[in-house]
Amino acid sequence: MTYLNFSRYLGLLFAGFLMLMLFVQPASAISQMPSFVLTDAVSGDSIDSKQFAGKTLLITFFATWCPPCMQEIPDLIDLQSNYASKGFSVVALSMDQGGVGVVRKLVEKHSINYPVLMADDSTARDFGGVPGIPFSFLVNKKGQLVKKYPGYVPHVVLERDIKNVMN
The pLDDT, as a whole number, for residue 16 is 38
C-alpha dihedral, 78 to 74 to 37 to 128, nearest 10°: 100
Of 19-28, 37-46, 90-99, give the lowest mean pLDDT range. 19-28
Give the chain's domains with CATH numbers.
27-166 (3.40.30.10)
| pLDDT higher than threshold 70 for residue 118 | yes
The pLDDT, as a whole number, for residue 1 is 56
Helix residue spans in 84-154 (DSSP H): 100-110, 121-126
User: Given pLDDT bands bounded at 50, 70 and 90, which one contains residue 20?
Assistant: very low
Say if residues 152 and 62 touch (Cβ distance below 8 Å): no
Element (H, E) at 154: none
User: Tens of pLDDT along 142-158?
Assistant: 999 999 999 999 999 99
By three-state DSSP, how is residue 102 classified? helix
